[in-house]
Structure 1
């Protein structure tokens, strides 16, 4: 029975903690408030993730440290560096592998499907910073300062606390018109949080995953129109009514809303095809994505506030090929 230290108790961190606990592992789940799932194998701990000494103490005896933190978008440049530095220090002092819940922002604007070999070419300061944090962790592993480093990269999440739930899920469930910030018919990859957690667990427990990035097995790309239609059909909501927000109005709204202002930074992801190739993880580990309809039903349950909306355990599944 191994011990795992997860820092960040949002949807990704909490789902990862549940999956590990259901496997019989011991989990220390750290957040500023000490919140998290109620499970006998999960110890919920209140701590400041920027305090390297505190996180290092909590990491003693852990096989892996999971960076599942997610500062507010408008605070990335100030909040991410001290958080990442503290976890890197903890990995160095404890001997634990460092597993990072990453994203696709470091690639910047792309043409064609993204693979793990796509260059991290983002130039916007906030997006480049995410790439730089991974480069620093990988360099530490390659230099022997830490045991191992792995970054798991997913696309926009289907479940709660996501662009999908904010712009589409809530209004569509209520039968209202949904206003979106990009074209309706551009293919986009969407990732289930359950699959993100499964890939994080695999990255920590299978040494074949170490010292490189991995893309999360995800459903085939869908346009916003296709995803909205599928969502309403699956959950029994009225047919979707969709409107694209004109760019001038979108930019003006960003002056009033920090969230909308931050969406403008990554608006390129919805202006042209934004497709993630995850065949490497499927081929190497035999993982396959959660069925899309199942994930969408979970999304609706979460938005409705139903108890037990996210499945307590999503074990790694064999490939469906």
Structure 2
């Protein structure tokens, strides 16, 4: 750790997860440096905006200088993960290590590949698709850095997210934005399969727990979330909160392939379609068994807050 430092650095603070982490830290009275390429980050007391490029070791070191804890919430464009994500994460590791800071990596669940049971942290990294493999390789590289003594690392994994600030997500504008406009809310994948969904403020709280507790070090942790819901159940809650008759539809595999012909991001969803056509459920009992009870936000409450955020959001 940095000597006599209480600085928490959030990389990717202009994004949904990074912005939520910055807000969570600020609400706890922490000193925060919020970093992204544009320097446009949440405007909060105690939050210092830092415009920086963390894709190079020099840029990452400048961003992380003086940090006690670094939260790696940055990511390249979805279609550029394989080409750009490992280099970025290597730079972040060097930056955090140079600062003597603990690194908390906001990870997802791609590395497990197709599964037949709720996902736990001891499952093998069995993914064979490019995005799953690159996620597995980055996590292993960070944990190897921890084992070697280069720096302290904790990894927090979450499923698909939604919440205030959550736009570029499968439960984002095509669900909340569409429903508010009276349009059809489209669920990516089968409507009848249970799916874990994380609420952004809950994900942020979980990552901050990992940042502040030495018991998290050197480990992977699944972050707590409310109970899994089918797509139909989730969309029903959205329209119940709006008090409107539901207008819902599934974006199935055939439509995904067709749209993917002209949309690279939608095309890229095909390699992980197994997350959409069968149960995709996380188990966070390791987290709660170690750190104690965690009050997740009920879906109905979280959906209401998300709709409020979308109502107040300026029209793109």
Distance 1:244 1:25, change over 3 A: closer
Structure 1 match to 2:153: 149
Write the distance in 2 (CA, Å) between the matches of 1:98 and 1:179. 36
8 Å contact from structure 1 (residues 16, 200) kept in 2? yes
Which residues in structure 2 correspond to 1:166-181 (within 5 Å)? Answer: 166-181=173-188
Moved more, 261-270 or 30-39: 261-270
Structure 1 match to 2:274: 268
SS at match of 1:271: coil
Write the distance in 2 (CA, Å) between the matches of 1:246 and 1:11. 26
Structure 1 match to 2:208: 201
Write the distance in 2 (CA, Å) between the matches of 1:273 and 1:279. 18
Structure 1 match to 2:85: 80
Write the distance in 1 (CA, Å) between the matches of 2:297 and 2:71. 22
Structure 2 match to 1:283: 289
Q: Unaligned regions of 5+ residues in structure 1, if any? A: 308-321
Moved more, 241-250 or 71-80: 241-250
Write the distance in 2 (CA, Å) between the matches of 1:51 and 1:156. 28
Q: Unaligned regions of 5+ residues in structure 2, if any? A: none
Write the deviation string for residues 48-102 of structure 1: whole angstroms up to 9, x where unpaired: 1112123213323211111101221111112202210110111221211110000
Distance 1:129 1:260, change over 3 A: same
1:105 is aligned to 2:110: yes
8 Å contact from structure 1 (residues 231, 296) kept in 2? yes
Write the deviation string for residues 238-270 of structure 1: whole angstroms up to 9, x where unpaired: 222223345333212101112211222222111
Q: What TM-score do you get using the length of structure 2 for normalisation?
A: 0.92
Write the distance in 2 (CA, Å) between the matches of 1:220 and 1:42. 33
Count of residue correspondences:
305
Distance 1:102 1:246, change over 3 A: closer
Write the distance in 2 (CA, Å) between the matches of 1:98 and 1:86. 12
Structure 1 match to 2:40: 35
1:51 is aligned to 2:56: yes
Write the distance in 1 (CA, Å) between the matches of 2:224 and 2:186. 28
Write the distance in 2 (CA, Å) between the matches of 1:60 and 1:245. 44
1:89 is aligned to 2:73: no
Q: 1:191 aligns with which of 175, 191, 198?
A: 198
Q: CA deviation at 1:173?
A: 2.2
8 Å contact from structure 1 (residues 173, 232) kept in 2? no
Q: What TM-score do you get using the length of structure 1 for normalisation?
A: 0.90
Write the distance in 1 (CA, Å) between the matches of 2:248 and 2:24. 36
Q: CA deviation at 1:180?
A: 3.4
8 Å contact from structure 2 (residues 194, 230) kept in 1? yes
Q: CA deviation at 1:293?
A: 1.7
Write the distance in 2 (CA, Å) between the matches of 1:193 and 1:179. 20
Structure 2 match to 1:163: 170
SS at match of 1:141: helix
SS at match of 2:33: strand
8 Å contact from structure 2 (residues 129, 272) kept in 1? no
Write the distance in 2 (CA, Å) between the matches of 1:245 and 1:287. 33
